């Protein structure tokens, strides 16, 4: 590590990172000038983007609380990013202290900072990995050890604002299917995804294209597209909706006047 202990030595500070840009949108300080420069033109096209990220984060907190209250004790957070307020283990363990959480990310800063934050918590850990390789993620001995995969206990897989970075529809469907098929009956998938609302289609599409050019390829999908990805699951009410509409909680403050283009769902494997 360097003087700033959250920066691993092998990180290229001149290359923008999805996780660090997300941290910037949320008002965090674990990002570099290159991340902020990459984010700036996207925010100029779509000034509500930081609000979208905050609404998404609030949805994640609500969905994790719902899952913990439903009896889920094992959580696998794919593409978890850099820790911020209201992390999955904090929400789940506040409901049920026995909850176990594994975070997975391929960004070295996210891995390093998460491991620092989780030191001393024997029911939560960070594993370096890529959600695009479900076989490797699920075969990781640390994932198996903490989540007790061999016992067949129901678990929750979280894909919060990550699947739109898998632009190929067939690959996205195959990834969701691979995790679904590995889950025991009674498990859940919680998913949020960038969407293109008709009223904002041109502007949101331009922002997505800019992001694809400067940071990483991404694809916005419709509610119908998400329904296809969730085949084999039973949707939890209220179904596939905009994130601000999924079981809103007064503690999150007033929602946006118009739904922001981020859709979500929580679904159960039968």
Q: By mean pLDDT, which of 36-40, 82-86, 191-195 is the weakest?
A: 82-86
Q: How many CA atoms lie within 13 Å of 266's alpha carbon, on the beta-carbon side? A: 25
Output the CA torsion 263→127→6→63 (10° steps): 30
Which pLDDT does position 3 carry in this prediction?
A: 40
CATH of the domain at 101: 3.40.50.150
Bridge partners of 127, per DSSP, are 104
- CA-based max dimension of the chain: 50
Q: Is residue 70 part of a domain?
A: yes
pLDDT by residue (tens digit) across 134-185? 999 999 999 999 998 878 899 999 999 999 999 999 999 999 999 999 999 9
Q: Is residue 26 part of a domain?
A: no
Q: Is residue 185 part of a domain?
A: yes
pLDDT by residue (tens digit) across 104-141? 999 888 898 899 889 999 999 999 999 999 999 999 99
Q: Is residue 248 part of a domain?
A: yes
Q: Is residue 4 part of a domain?
A: no
Kindly write down the DSSP assignment for every residue of 102-146, as one continuous string.
EEEES-HHHHHHHHHHHTT-TTEEEEE--TT-HHHHHH-HHHHHH
Cα distance between residue 207 and residue 8, in whole Å? 30
Q: By mean pLDDT, which of 44-53, 102-111, 154-163, 252-261 is the weakest?
A: 252-261
pLDDT mean across residues, the chain: 88
Which are the contacts of 131, defined by CB distance < 8 A and separation ≥ 6?
78, 79, 104, 137, 159, 162, 175
Which pLDDT does position 2 carry in this prediction?
A: 41
Q: Is residue 40 part of a domain?
A: no
Query: pLDDT higher for 202 or 181?
Result: 181
Q: Is residue 188 part of a domain?
A: yes
Which pLDDT does position 43 carry in this prediction?
A: 79
110: tokens are 């996210």
Q: What is the pTM of this model?
A: 0.88
Q: Give the range of the structural domain holding residue 65, as residue numbers without chain letter.
A: 48-200+217-269
Q: How many domains does the chain contain in total?
A: 1
Cα angle 79, 84, 86 (rounded to 5 degrees) comes to: 100
243: tokens are 């994130």
Cα distance between residue 160 and residue 143, in whole Å? 19
First to last CA, the chain: 45
Q: Is residue 258 part of a domain?
A: yes
Q: Is the CB of residue 24 less than 8 Å from the CB of residue 35?
A: yes
Which pLDDT does position 260 carry in this prediction?
A: 83
């Amino acid at each position: 590590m360097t003087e700033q202990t959250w920066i691993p030595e092998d990180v290229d500070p001149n290359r923008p990172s999805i996780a660090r840009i997300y941290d910037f949108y949320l008002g965090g300080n674990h990002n570099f000038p290159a991340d902020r420069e990459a984010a700036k033109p996207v925010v100029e096209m779509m000034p509500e983007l930081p609000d979208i990220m905050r609404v998404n984060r609030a949805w994640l907190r609500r969905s994790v609380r719902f899952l913990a209250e439903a009896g889920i004790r094992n959580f696998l957070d794919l593409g978890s990013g850099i820790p911020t307020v209201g992390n999955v283990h904090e929400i789940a363990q506040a409901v049920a202290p026995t909850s176990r959480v594994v975070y997975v990310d391929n960004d070295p800063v996210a891995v390093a900072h998460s491991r620092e934050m989780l030191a001393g918590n024997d029911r939560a850990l960070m594993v370096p990995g890529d959600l695009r390789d479900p076989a490797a993620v699920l075969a990781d001995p640390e994932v198996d050890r903490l989540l007790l995969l061999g016992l067949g206990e129901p678990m929750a897989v979280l894909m919060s604002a990550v699947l739109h970075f898998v632009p190929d529809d067939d690959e996205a469907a195959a990834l969701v299917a691979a995790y679904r098929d590995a889950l025991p009956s009674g498990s859940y998938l919680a998913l949020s995804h960038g969407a293109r609302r008709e009223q904002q289609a041109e502007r949101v599409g331009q922002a997505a294209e800019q992001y694809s050019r400067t940071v990483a390829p991404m694809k916005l999908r419709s509610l119908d597209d998400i329904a296809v990805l969730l085949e084999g699951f039973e949707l939890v009410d209220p179904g596939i909706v905009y994130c601000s509409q999924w079981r809103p909680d007064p503690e999150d403050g007033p929602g946006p006047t118009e739904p922001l283009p981020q859709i979500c769902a929580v679904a159960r494997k039968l």
